[in-house]
A and B are shown apart, each in its own frame.
Chain A
Amino acid sequence: EDQVTQSPEALRLQEGESSSLNCSYTVSGLRGLFWYRQDPGKGPEFLFTLYSAGEEKEKERLKATLTKKESFLHITAPKPEDSATYLCAVPSEGGGSYIPTFGRGTSLIVHP
């Protein structure tokens, strides 16, 4: 069974303290890995798509990387406005289509 595991479940950082979030997956034949940000009371917002090992994507203080078994979301010098839950998703086959299976997320709090 395809699985997506995110760690840690929760992370507290001081403003400016860089860190990384992890998303590990077990799927046969990766068709991409997707990162989303979710603010409290809102729907997830798409951040990145990664398709192959070694690929990297950047957006402001966020950089996503991909290996054959996991992805990292690196947060450099975070600010309080980066506080959110970060979700990763990996497509798994179902009903003839590939539908993303989401991890449970990492809740990030950045203190000023």
Chain B
Amino acid sequence: DQQVKQNSPSLSVQEGRISILNCDYTNSMFDYFLWYKKYPAEGPTFLISISSIKDKNEDGRFTVFLNKSAKHLSLHIVPSQPGDSAVYFCAVSIQGAQKLVFGQGTRLTINP
């Protein structure tokens, strides 16, 4: 059973527009949420995180939203740039448990 789901395997967005990536989780005990970006043949790169005491965290062009009642988080990238083309993974954990549980990833393509 998948505890973390990214239901869109791929997403295509025009340069300059907003990219919205979504992630759903099943376990209400999860309380720490992260987004990673991955280029081919490289390891995942940490982008942004949020703890369950917040519902929004912003860092430059990246904003993560957390809806605890819906067990849903999303990553907004605005404006989207060609360098944002990559696979994006959401990851969740229970504080104190350390291990991250990852979604399957969404491949984002930014079109010029």
A and B assemble together: no
